[in-house]
Amino acid sequence: MLKLNPAKTALLIINMTNDLLGWEGVEALVPHLGRLLKAARARGMTVIYSSLAFCAGGADSGQMGRFWGPIGSGKILTQDTPGVEVCAELAPSQGDIVLQRNRYSAFYNTELDSLLRSRGIDTVVIGGYSTNFCCDSTARDANFRDYNVVFLSDGTAPIALQDDAGKPISADEVQKTELANLRQGIARVASIEEVESALAS
C-alpha cells in the first residue's frame, strides 16, 4: 500500500513547457497532471517544475545538443523565451518552485537537492516528459541520493525509438519497458489515482 506524507513529499513536474507541448504524448499528460497538481496543493505538498532551457544558439547544450539537432542549433528551448515557460494549463501557483536546467536530470547543476533537503523532503513524485530521458535521469539521480522515488505510470510520456536496423519501437513499448526497468530497482511505479489515494489516506 503506497503511503505518502505530504509534508515530506515533493511533486516534480518535468518539461511541461510550450516548446514541447506538441511532441508526441505531451499534451495528453496535461489534464492528468493538472488533477494531481490540484490534489498536491490541497495537501500542502511542495511543487517543483523543472524545465530544459538553453542559452541563445544552444551553446551550453553539450552532448544533448549533439544528439538533438533543434536543441544544439538553438531552435527550441531557448532561455527567456515563451517556449521554456510552463504551459498555461499547468502554470505554477504562488509558492511553487520553478527551476531551469541544461541536461536531462533535474538535479544536474541546479538547486534541487538543497531545496529538497532544506524542506525535509525524502520522497519525490516524478511526472512529465520524457519517460526515457529526462524523467528517467531524474529518477536515477534521486535514487542515487537516497530519496524515495515514485514514478507516475500515467503521468509520464516517452520518446519513441528505433532499433539498430531502423525499425520503430513504439512509445507504448518504450513506456512499458522503461517502467519495468525502473520498478526493478529505481522507483515505485504508481498511477496518479494511487498517488491521490496515498495523499488522502
Binned average pLDDT, 10 residues per bin, the chain of 201 residues: 92 98 97 97 97 96 95 96 98 97 97 98 98 98 98 98 97 98 97 95 75
pLDDT at 1: 63
Would you kindly state where each structural domain of the chain is located, as residue ranges?
6-200
* Helices and strands, counts by H and E, the chain: 7, 8
Say if CB 109 and CB 102 are below 8 A apart: yes
pLDDT at 200: 85
Task: Report the largest interatomic distance among the alpha carbons of the chain, rounded to a whole angstrom.
Answer: 49
pLDDT at 99: 98
**Residue from 144, 178, 141, 143 nearest 158 by CA:** 178
Distance CA 41, CA 62 (A): 35
- Angle at CA 101, nearest 5°, toward 4 and 158? 65
Which CATH class name applies to 6-200? alpha beta
Distance CA 42, CA 159 (A): 31
| Strand ranges inside the chain, DSSP E | 9-14, 46-52, 97-101, 123-129, 148-157, 161-162, 168-169, 188-190
Distance CA 102, CA 108 (A): 8
Give me the sheet containing 46-52, strands edge to edge: 97-101, 46-52, 9-14, 123-129, 148-157, 188-190
29 Ramachandran zone, left/alpha/beta (phi>0; psi -120 to 50) = alpha
Going from the C-alpha of 27 to that of each of 101, 128, 131, 134, 138, the distances in angstroms are 21, 10, 14, 17, 21
Say if CB 23 and CB 79 are below 8 A apart: no
